[in-house]
Chains A and B, each alone.
Chain A
Amino acid sequence: DVKVTQSSRYLVKRTGEKVFLECVQDMDHENMFWYRQDPGLGLRLIYFSYDVKMKEKGDIPEGYSVSREKKERFSLILESASTNQTSMYLCASSLSLGARKNYEQYFGPGTRLTVT
């Protein structure tokens, strides 16, 4: 059964702290994604990775960085957390991206981050 797990369901951090969100998938998927979800807005892509040590910016990468040292693990890093980064963060994974293939993205349960 497909499984994407995220390290924390809820997280409270202070402004200026460095924050790590971890995501692990057990499906041997090549691709992993980080999204944030805010009320009234659709999911927005922050970063994605199509291979170990490879990363691409999504639509809203500012204030974030990522790390993928192992195939199964994709980390989102907030270098200096700010209150406008309070949000629900969702990790997803999928098989190799092919323009003409409809590979499913499987989502983790989400991490609700509050920055005070």
Chain B
Amino acid sequence: KNQVEQSPQSLIILEGKNCTLQCNYTVSPFSNLRWYKQDTGRGPVSLTIMTFSENTKSNGRYTATLDADTKQSSLHITASQLSDSASYICVVSELNTGFQKLVFGTGTRLLVSP
């Protein structure tokens, strides 16, 4: 069964600190992996998309890595800010002939504390 698992489920860090969120997946065949940020009560907003051939991609203070061999990804947040408090969702796209089916993780809830 295609699954995406994220860890930790929740995390509290002090403002200014760095953190790393993890994502493991069993989705096959693989098309791409996305990280989304979802503020409370809002829809998810894309941070990065990585294909099989990409092993790192940055978006400002967010850096995502992908190891397609071990089927693992991480999202590193540098110099955290209060506005980084949100849920971060890892999403893997399954490649098939018809369309890209997205498999969503349950998210990591990050709280940045002053």
Question: Which residues does chain A contribute within 8 Å of B103, judged by CB atoms?
Answer: 42
Task: Assess whether B43 is in contact with A108, with CB atoms less than 8 Å apart.
Answer: yes
Contacts of A92 in B (CB 8 A): 43
User: When chains A and B are docked, how far (Å) is the Cα of A16 from the Cα of B77?
Assistant: 45
Contact of B42 among A45, A97, A101, A110 (CB under 8 A): A110
A102 and B106 contact, CB distance less than 8 A: no
**Are the CB atoms of B42 and A40 closer together than 8 Å?**
no
Contacts of B97 in A (CB 8 A): 99
Task: Give the size range of A's interface with the partner.
Answer: 20 to 34
Tell me which residues across on chain A come within 8 A of B104, comparing CB atoms: 42-44
Q: Name the A residues within 8 Å of B49 (CB-CB).
A: 102, 104
Q: Specify which chain A residues have a CB less than 8 angstroms from the CB of B46 in the assembled complex.
A: 104-106
Partner pick for B41 among A100, A106, A110, CB 8 A cutoff: A110
Residues in chain A near residue B111, CB distance under 8 A: none
| Residue contact B106 to A42, C-beta cutoff 8 Å | yes
* Set of chain B residues within 8 Å of A50, measured between Cβ atoms: 99
**Contact residues in B for A97 (Cβ distance below 8 Å):** 98-100
Which of B13-21, B65-73, B88-96 is found at the contact surface with chain A? B88-96
Check A42/B89 contact, CB under 8 A, given A99-B31, A99-B98, A102-B31.
yes
Contact A102 B43 (CB under 8 A): no
Q: A41–B102 contact, CB under 8 A?
A: no
With A40-B106, A42-B103 as known contacts, state yes or no: A99 contacts B43, CB within 8 Å: no
- Interface contact A102-B51, CB-CB below 8 Å: yes
- Contacting A105 at CB < 8 Å: which of B51, B95, B102? B102
Complex Cα–Cα for A40 and B43 (A): 16
Of the listed residues A40, A42, A99, A105, the one surrounded by the most CB atoms of chain B closer than 10 A to its CB is A42
Interface on B for A, CB 8 Å cutoff? Answer: 4, 31-32, 41-46, 49, 51, 89, 93, 95-107
Interface of A toward B, CB cutoff 8 Å:
4, 9, 40-45, 50, 90, 92, 97-110, 112
Given A45-B101, A90-B44, A105-B46, 4 more A-B residue pairs with CB atoms under 8 Å apart are A42-B106, A50-B99, A107-B44, A109-B42
